[in-house]
Structure 1
Amino acid sequence: MLILGLTGSIGMGKSTTSAMFQAEGVPVYDSDAAVHALYAFGGGAVGPVEAAFPGVVMNGAIDRAKLSAAVVGNSEALAKLEAIVHPLVGAHRIGFFEDAEAKGADIVVLDIPLLYETGGEKKVDKVVVVSAPADVQRARVLARPEMTSEKFEAILARQLPDAEKRARADFVIDTGQGLDHARQQVRDLLTLLRTSSAA
C-alpha cells in the first residue's frame, strides 16, 4: 500500500484536492479532522487536555479559542499539548491504515497541512504538494470571513515557503487553472503511480 503525503500552504486548494482523491476512491486521512474529533464532546483528548490546561473545556468539549490562548506563544505549553495530542492522532491513524488495508486499498493519502514543518515526509512514500500562483493564493485566503492581511502573513510566516515545498515534492498539483485541470492531474498521478507499481 503506497502512502502519499498531501500538503500545501494556506489557500492553495489542499482540501479541494484531498476531496478529489477521495472521489477517485482513495482513502484519505485528514489529520485536522482527527484533531477536531479528539477535541469534540466525548473525544479522547478532552480529559487529558483539561487536566493539563484547566479551564479549556466547555460543555464537555475543548474550547479551541481558550486552548489557543493557553498555548500560543508559549513553546513549553505547546510541547505539553503536542505530547498529549500526537500519540492520540497516531493511534487514530493506525486504525485508518488497518481499515484501508482490510478494504484492499493500493494507495492512501495522508492530508497533513504541516507535513514538512513536522518532519512528516519521512513517514510517507511520496509527497504531493498542492500549489497555485501567489496572487491566486492571496485572493482565495483574503476572501475568507474574518481573514485579514496581517493574519494571512502571520500564517505564511509559520509555513515553509511554497517554492521550497514544490522543490522538495515528488509531485505537484497545480490548482491555479481551475477544478477540471486539478482533477485531471489527480487522475493522471494515480494512473502513473499504479502503472509504475505494477511494472
Structure 2
Amino acid sequence: MLGLTGSIGAGKSTAANLLRKHGLTVLDADAAAHALSRTPEVQTEVARQLGPQYVTADGFDRAALAALVFADPAKRDVLNAIVHPRVRALLGQQTAEAAARGEAWVVQDVPLLFEGEGWRQMNATLLIDAPLELRISRVMKRSGLDRETVLARDAAQMPAEQKRRLATVVVDNSGDEAQLEAGLVEALRSLGIGEPGSREDGRS
C-alpha cells in the first residue's frame, strides 16, 4: 500500500487524480467517510454524541460539523473516533479486493494519514507539500473561506514539517500541474512502483 497525504491546500486531490491517470487504483478516505455518514449506525452515533442537528438525510451537515470540530478539539476527537476506524476497515476491504485482482500497489488517499497510526501499515508514504502562504491562497480561492478559518484548519492538522520527516517521499506542489505530475512520476520511480498489475515491483 502507498499512503497519500498532504496538508490543506497542498494539492493532494490533484495528485490523486494524476495517480489514477497513471493507472493506479486510488482509494479515497473522504469518499469512504461520506458513504459511511449515510449509514444508520454512524448517523446514530453522531446524533447521540454530538447532536442530532448535525445529521441530515444525505449524511452530515458538513459545514456545521466542520465548524464544530475545528473549534473544539475534544469534539473533533469524538467524531474521529466514530468515523476513522470504520473508514480504515472499509479501505482495508477495498485494498484486499484490489490485491485479489493482482494489483501490486494500491494508493490510499488519507488526509489525516500521519495524525493516526494507519501510516505505519503502509509500505510507503507519499506527501504532497507546498508553502503555507500558497496553500492558504488556494483554499481561500476554491472554498471562499477567510484566512483565519484556513489557518485554524491547518493548525488542527499535524505541522507540515513533521509530516515531511515521516514521509517516505515528498513531492513539492508549488508549481503547475505539469510540474506536479513530473514529481509524481519521479516519486513512483524512486519507490519502485511500475505498471499496474505487475507483482514484481511492490505489494499492495
State the 1:60 CA deviation. 5.6
Question: Distance in 1 between the 2:16 and 2:108 partners?
Answer: 9
Q: Which moved more, 1:48-57 or 1:164-173?
A: 48-57
In structure 2, the gaps of 5 or more residues are 195-199
| 1:1-199 paired onto structure 2 within 5 Å | 3-40=1-38, 42=39, 45-52=42-49, 53-59=51-57, 61-68=59-66, 72-73=71-72, 75=74, 77-194=75-192, 198=201
Answer whether contact 1:46 1:60 (CA < 8 A) is retained. no
Question: Distance in 1 between the 2:130 and 2:66 partners?
Answer: 29
Counterpart secondary structure, 2:7: coil
| Identity %, equivalent residues | 34
Query: CA 1:99–1:136 in 2, change beyond 3 Å: closer, same or farther?
Result: same
Question: Distance in 1 between the 2:164 and 2:30 partners?
Answer: 22
State the 1:74 CA deviation. 6.0
The residue identity in structure 1 corresponding to 2:23 is G
Query: CA 1:74–1:130 in 2, change beyond 3 Å: closer, same or farther?
Result: closer
Query: CA 1:29–1:73 in 2, change beyond 3 Å: closer, same or farther?
Result: same
State the 1:184 CA deviation. 1.7
Question: Distance in 2 between the 1:87 and 1:198 partners?
Answer: 30
Question: Distance in 1 between the 2:154 and 2:67 partners?
Answer: 20
Q: Which moved more, 1:52-61 or 1:180-189?
A: 52-61
Normalised to the residue count of structure 2, the TM-score between the two structures is 0.81
Residue-pair matches, total: 195
Question: Distance in 1 between the 2:134 and 2:66 partners?
Answer: 29
Answer whether contact 2:9 2:136 (CA < 8 A) is retained. yes
In structure 1, the gaps of 5 or more residues are none
Question: Distance in 1 between the 2:67 and 2:30 partners?
Answer: 19
Answer whether contact 1:43 1:61 (CA < 8 A) is retained. no
Spell out, residue by residue over 1:48-96, the C-alpha distance to the aligned partner (whole angstroms, 9 max, x if none): 4334433433336332345456655261x44443333233212211221
Counterpart secondary structure, 1:11: coil
Q: Cα RMSD over matched residues?
A: 2.6
Answer whether contact 1:37 1:43 (CA < 8 A) is retained. no
Query: CA 1:37–1:153 in 2, change beyond 3 Å: closer, same or farther?
Result: same
Counterpart secondary structure, 2:142: coil
Answer whether contact 1:44 1:88 (CA < 8 A) is retained. no
Question: Distance in 2 between the 1:116 and 1:94 partners?
Answer: 17
The residue identity in structure 2 corresponding to 1:46 is Q
Normalised to the residue count of structure 1, the TM-score between the two structures is 0.83
Query: CA 1:80–1:25 in 2, change beyond 3 Å: closer, same or farther?
Result: same
Query: CA 1:121–1:37 in 2, change beyond 3 Å: closer, same or farther?
Result: same
